[in-house]
Each structure stands twice: as structure tokens, then as C-alpha cells.
Chains A and B, each alone.
Chain A
Amino acid sequence: MPSFLKEFFKRNGVGMGSVMLGLVLFWTIGLIILPQLSMLDFSFRPNLPPPEIGGPKDVYTLENYKYLINGPEGGSQDYNAVDLRVFFRTLVAAVCVTVFNLILCYPIAYYLAQTKGNHIRIFALMLIIPYWINEILRAFALRIIFGETGVLNNLLVGMGLFDTPFDFIRNDIALYAGLGYAYILLMIFPIYNVIESLDRNQIEAARDMGASWPMIHRRVVIPYAKPGISSGCTMVFMLSAGALAAPQILGGPSSLWFTQLIYQQFNDNSDWPQGAAYAVVLLVTCILLVLAIMRLFKVNMGDIGK
């Protein structure tokens, strides 16, 4: 037995130690690492009926990844234009949602963190309550508002801004509003946590030196809040790129989200390896994008999740 294991059991006792170790190993290896590897492995295999799995036809192939780029074998086009367009549109839209959320939430987080008083707790309560409501119901609420005979259209037409109801769903405005809505809290809390620990004297000092408000934010608050901002942005980006409920409920009929393609591969086409390949592509691209942006803004991985 290696010395660190011996040490571990001496510290925790054999019984407690093995329960603890067992749970941790089950979680990290059985639930996190092996399933991901298994999905990766699966994505390189052809789609076979169950009896043939493990048979001679079950060999590694790049077919599923080629499908995403080149489309079906012998198709009319050189590239799988539909799926690739959905893929890039999803990434761009997720970035837009993240930026929108950051702009919306930064002032709120700053205000909540730097103001004292009883009303702040009421605000915090009002922030949290929507997040106890089901994700589907939140999307449903937005659909009531943005629908063709919804409240917003009635209001706009009633005020005479539009002659005919504006189709928010077909124009994807409902979808972006819904995605932004869903992840506001995940953006506010990390930023709030960091700014709360910012010493107010620093801001006072900057102001005494004659800095304007934009200058104070640019030079004092934002550099200090960078870990919070980056962890908020990472979470919002990953979750909105991987969202499924909001695009299904709020998305227009002609616009798909990449996760919906994965869902279709699994449930409608029953092509699991293809779906797994798409999932791997989504996961890897998102991680690479996040890492690249973190390097660009010089943030460490360890700051995330604080």
C-alpha cells in the first residue's frame, strides 16, 4: 500500500476512509471521467443494430465527424451547410447572449455590492425567486409575452408603434431574451461576490484624485472584478451554448440550436454515435473557446468557481 494511502487511512480510519474514497472514486471516475471517455469512444463507431455491436463491423471510423463537415455520403453539396450554419450560429448567439448579460448585470452587481441597507436584501430575494421556478415555466412565461397575441404585441399595437403584430418568435428575439433571462443570476453572483470584497476606500481615493466614474470603473473596479466577470461569462456562455429547453420552446420554426440537432440525432434518428460525435464537437469547441478567451484576458482557470 503506498504511503499516502496508509496516511489517509490512518487519518480517517479504515471504515470512514474507505467510504469516503469509494464515494469520491465513484463520482470522479464512474460518473465524470469514464462516461465522457465512453461517449468519445462511441462517437468514433458506426451506427449498428445491437446484435452487431462488438462484431466485425464494429471498427473505429471518422464517419460521424465527416458527416458534420461534408454532409451525407453522395450528397449534392460539398459541405453540410445546414448543420455547420446551425453550429456557428449557436456559438455566435451564445457569445452575444453572454455579452448582453454582462452589460445588463454589471451595474446591478456593482450597485448591490456597494450599497448598504435593508432594501438590498429585498433585491437579493427578488433576484433569487425567479431561479426557484422551473426552467420550462420561465420559457413558457416569455412565450406568453412574446406570442403573436401576447402582452407585448398588444401593448405595441395599442400604443400605435406597430400596425400589425411583430413576430418576435420567428425573429429569434424571444429566444435571445429567454436565454439572457435564464442565466442572469449566474452572471450577477460571481461579480457581486468579488466586488463586495473591494475596499470602498479605493474608489474614494480614485475619486479624490479626480477620476471620473467611467475611469474609476475602467481602472479600479473592472480589473479587481476580473475573476468574477470571467467566471460569470464562462458559465453563461457554456450554459447558453448547451441550452435545450429555451430553444425548443422559444425558437422560431426555421432556426435550430445545435443542441436540438443532437437531440434529433438521439431521439428522432436513433443515431446515437452521430449524436455523441456532435456532443463531443460542442463540448470541445466550447472549452477551447473559453480557454482562448481566458488567455486573451489573462485570467487563470483557478479563479473560476470561486
Chain B
Amino acid sequence: MKSFSFLRLSVWFYLAIFFAYLLGPLVIMSVTAFNSPEFPRASPWECLTFEWFSALFQDERILNGIWNSILVGAGTVVLSVAMGLAGALMLTQIWPKLRATYYTIIIAPILIPGVVLGISTLVFWDRINRMLGLGADSFLSNGLFLTIIGQSTFIASYCMLVLVARLQRYDIALTEAALDLGATHAQAFRKVLLPFMKPAIASAAVLAFLASFENYNTTTFTFGEYPTLTIELAQKVRYGITPAISALAFIIVVLTVFAALANEANIRRKELVAAARKDATVEELESGRLRLPNFFSSNWAAVALVVVACLTIATVGTATVYSPQQCIADIREQKRLETEARIQELRQRRAEEAARRAAEEAEKGDAATGGTSTAPATGGNNSGFGNVFDPNALGGGSSDAEETDDQSSAPSSGGGSSAFGGAFDPNALSGGGSDGN
């Protein structure tokens, strides 16, 4: 069983790495939204701040982008759900020989690169526009129209896939029964088929809106005068990033987590209710005294949902009363001190250097004057200078060597070689060796 537990351990290790890759970036991005530096970074941590959120809400372009995205999303949802439903219904009825071709055509937009879809939409409607003799500001070259059309081309395929899955479980006899009972085709559609398809239509609509909201590749060619949120974000990210974008991302992450948990809690709740009903006796059901399970009992998603909601409220509450000014001032002060210390250090180093250079200069002057007058004086000066560098012998050695080159005075050179050369003298070692022998 040892190998089994090893396998288990490695599975968990793999899962941990995988989810770290998947969720880590989002967590780090969220953290940067609360850190005060101008450039989004998680470390080093400076100050907890909420100013990036207010910067975000004051950004006209972002707000305008959100509005445009909602407009485009609404149009895309309507158009692509309608086309997806029609396409799915057609798939169930189409002549069998045409079926494979038809399926390939309506599934193709998923595989066509978004860039190609955007270009083809732009080129095609531009041509239609010219054929009809309309100007450059006509409805057909409107960015909103083109974006909706371009996005719907492939989003309708997603919707079609979702709807077909549900439509396969539909009993066509239901529609026939309605028609036999005297309903018109429109009535049969509205009162029988549509209610049956409702859950699938809802999920197709959500999917379509999300796909439209985050689309970039197609929209970037068609948006015209109506930049969506994604386009604005891309432009911001490409030309300099700020933590305000992290703040937006954090909001989207929280909304997403919230929606996902709400959905999960709802599903779980339904399952629990169904299980309770199944276990209940007939009397309990008839008397209506069936005790349905509590909303929170064995429903981790509901608990998590409430926790997330509380955390959000707490965060917003903190944000309204919290002021990071003190901390930012502290950090600024600290940075100023650091910079000052660094400047001080630099200044000191410079001063030292200047002093040394001055000493050298002075020495040179000395050497120039002293060289002619008395040789022993130079040697004494040299040894005195060398003492300063005594701890780091090598530096002293090199400066000594330079010095000797400059001065080319025989006594000091001889002194240098005696001071250092002693250790490196090959004779010393061999002599010692021979001594030993």
C-alpha cells in the first residue's frame, strides 16, 4: 500500500500545482489592487489603500466602456440566442444528407480565429455599404452594429450547442399534441417548446453575454466609435499599467465568485429538497408537514456564499472609514530617509574619494618636488601612505604599484617588492623547502 499512498500524494501535489497556476495570478492581481505603489505589485507590501478603486470609478473611459459593453452584450444575447435556437431547431429537421454539411458550417465559427471573423465582418459590411451607395456614417458601418454582428457569428454557435443538448431530450409528440388540440404553430412554440427550453435558453444567454463581454479579437476590428470595456482595458494595459486595473479585476473576481457560489448553492439546495421529498413518507407529503432541509445544512456553497458576502460588506465598510494617509505619509517619510541615507552615503563616498585624490595629487606634487631634492623623503612618504591601505593589502599593493610606476623611484619600488614580494618570491618557498629538506 506504500506505492498507493505515494500515488495519492503525488496526485494531490499535482492538483496543488495546477490550481496554483490557475488561481495564483488572480489572487496576486487582487492583492495588488490594495497596495499603494503606482506600479501594480504585491511585494514589497507598502500600504493598504482603497484609492485605486476611487481612481477606477472616476475613469470616464472605463465607465463609458462598461456602458458600451452592456449595449453590445444585450444586442449579442438577443441575436445569438435567436439564431442559435433557430439553428438548433433546424438541425433536428434538416434533410439527413445535408445534415453533416450544415453542422460543419454552423460549428465552424467556433474554430475560425476571432481576428479572421472581425476582418471578414468589416470587409463584407463595408462592401454592402458601398453597394447600397451609403456614406461612411451609415447604419451599416456603425461600430455597435458591426460588433454585435461580428460577435454573434460565433457566439450563436455556442448557444446552438447548449440548446441542442436540451432539445435532444424534447419529445416532439408534445408539439404535435398541441397542434392536434387546435393550437397554432406560434402558440405551440410559445406555450410548449419555449417553457421546456427555458433553462437552456437562460444558460445560453448568460454564456453569450459573458462571451461578448470578454471578446477582444473580433471587437478590435469592428468597434469603430464604440470601444467596449475590453478594448479600453487592452489599450490601458498596453500603454502603461496601474493598480486601478487590478481594482477592476478584483471587482470582477468577486462578482464571479459570488455568482458561481449562488448558482452552486441553488443547485445543491434543489438536490437536498429532492432527496428529502424522496425519503419522505406519503402522509408527510399529504399533510404538508414535510420538513425541508435548512438552507445552510450540508450546503457548503451557501455557507461560502454568506462568508463572501460578509467579507465584501466588511471590506466596503472598512474602505469608507479607513484612511491610508498616515501610512502613506509614513512610507514616504521612510523612503525619504532611505534616500537621504543613500545620498549621505554617496556623498561620504565621494568625499572620501575626493580626499584620496587630493592626497594623491598632493603626493604627486610632493614627489615632483621631493624627487629632485631628497630620495629618502619620497620613500618615507610612500611607506606612510601604504599604511593606510594596510588592512586590504591587495588594494594597497596595486596603488603602491601605480605609485611606483609614476614615481619610478628605485628605493620605494624596492621597498614595495620587499613588503609584498617576500611572500610571492619563488625563492622563499624553494628556500623554505630546501630548508625543510
With A15-B186, A26-B83, A39-B120 already in contact, the answer to whether A31 and B213 are too (CB < 8 A) is no
Known contacts A23-B86, A154-B43: A38-B114 contact under CB 8 Å = no
Q: Which of A27, A239, A272 has the most CB of B within 10 A?
A: A27
- Does residue A201 face the partner (Cβ distance < 8 Å to B)? no
Tell me the smallest distance from the CB of B349 to a CB of chain A, in Å.
23
**Are B237 and A249 closer than 8 Å at their CB atoms?**
yes
Contacts A234-B111, A282-B116; A38 near B124 (Cβ below 8 A): yes
B326 at the interface (CB under 8 A from A): no
The verdict on A141 contacting B26 (CB below 8 Å), with A27-B83, A154-B43 known, is: yes
**B21 A181 Cβ-Cβ under 8 A:** yes
A 131-172 contacts with B by CB, 8 A = 132-145, 147, 149-151, 154
Question: In the bound complex, do residue B104 and residue A301 qualify as a contact, i.e. CB atoms below 8 Å apart?
Answer: yes
How many A-B Cβ pairs are below 8 Å? 247
Within 8 Å by CB of B216, from A24, A235, A244, lies A244
Inter-chain contact A32/B153, CB cutoff 8 Å: yes
Residues of A within 8 A of B19 (CB): 123, 126
Residues of chain A within 8 A of B39, CB atoms compared: 149
A235 contacts B110, C-beta separation under 8 Å: yes
Do A39 and B119 touch across chains, with their CB atoms under 8 A apart?
A: yes
CB distance from A306 to the nearest CB of B (A): 9
Chain B interface, number of residues (Cβ within 8 angstroms):
89
Contacts A134-B230, A290-B111 given; 14 further ones with Cβ under 8 A?
A: A27-B86, A33-B105, A39-B124, A107-B14, A121-B264, A129-B257, A133-B252, A136-B216, A140-B237, A141-B25, A143-B241, A151-B42, A249-B234, A286-B113
Chain B contacts to A: CB under 8 angstroms:
11, 14-15, 18-19, 21-26, 28-29, 32, 39-43, 82-83, 86-87, 89-90, 93, 95, 100, 102-117, 119-121, 123-125, 127, 130, 149, 152-153, 156, 161, 184-186, 189, 210, 213-217, 220-221, 229-230, 233-234, 237-238, 241, 245-246, 248-249, 252-253, 256-257, 259-261, 264, 300
A–B Cβ pairs within 8 angstroms, 24 of them: A13-B184, A17-B185, A20-B86, A23-B83, A26-B83, A35-B117, A107-B11, A129-B26, A130-B26, A132-B259, A135-B230, A137-B249, A142-B25, A143-B241, A144-B25, A181-B22, A238-B113, A241-B113, A244-B217, A275-B119, A276-B123, A304-B111, A305-B107, A305-B161
